[in-house]
Amino acid sequence: MIPTLPKKRILLAEDDPTLLKIIQVGLQHQGFEVLTVSDGEQLLDRVRRGMRVDLILMDVKMPKRDGFEVVRELKGDPSTAKMPVILFTGSESYWMELLDRCIELGVNDWLRKPFRFEDLMEKIEKALGEGPGRRQAA
């Protein structure tokens, strides 16, 4: 029997329950294991407890801890500093700040909401080092 590779695990942080579910289902359909949280504090708690995560996908504007604060903590900890992170925001006022801060904080990529799912998948594949079309849908 050929062993199967574990699914890539994405930790998704989004405080809008509808958008959270849409992204979660779409990513699961693409063969990812998706864990969800609704704020930055929950995300940090999961990562601190040693949860295996291959990529973090999160909204910038969230309750308790925003995406910038979370990334600053992750990138400041040697055990999580290299973890790929993709940020997104729907706020026009945050967009220019997002670009500057993502570069400053070492974020892998960013998106502006609303975004096309295909664009999200391209950024995820790039962050995980997978070429287009190499991922098989589940």
**Cβ count within 10 A of residue 20:** 18
Establish if 44 belongs to a structural domain: yes
- 62 within some domain: yes
Residue 53 CB neighbour total at 10 angstroms: 18
Query: Under a CB-based contact definition with an 8 Å cutoff, are residues 56 and 74 in contact?
Result: yes
Given this model, what pLDDT does residue 27 score? 97
pLDDT, one tens digit per residue, over 43-92 is 999 999 988 999 999 999 888 898 889 999 999 999 999 999 999 887 76
Has residue 91 been placed in a domain? yes
pLDDT at 117 over 80: yes
Look up the CATH number of the domain holding residue 90. 3.40.50.2300
Please give the span between the terminal C-alpha atoms of the chain, in angstroms, as a whole number: 19
Q: Is residue 138 part of a domain?
A: no
Contact of 95 with 112, CB cutoff 8 Å: yes
Instruction: Indicate the number of domains in the chain.
Output: 1
Q: How many CB atoms lie within 10 A of CB 76?
A: 10
Range of the domain at 46: 9-128
Tens digits of per-residue pLDDT, 87-108?
A: 988 776 666 777 787 888 888 9
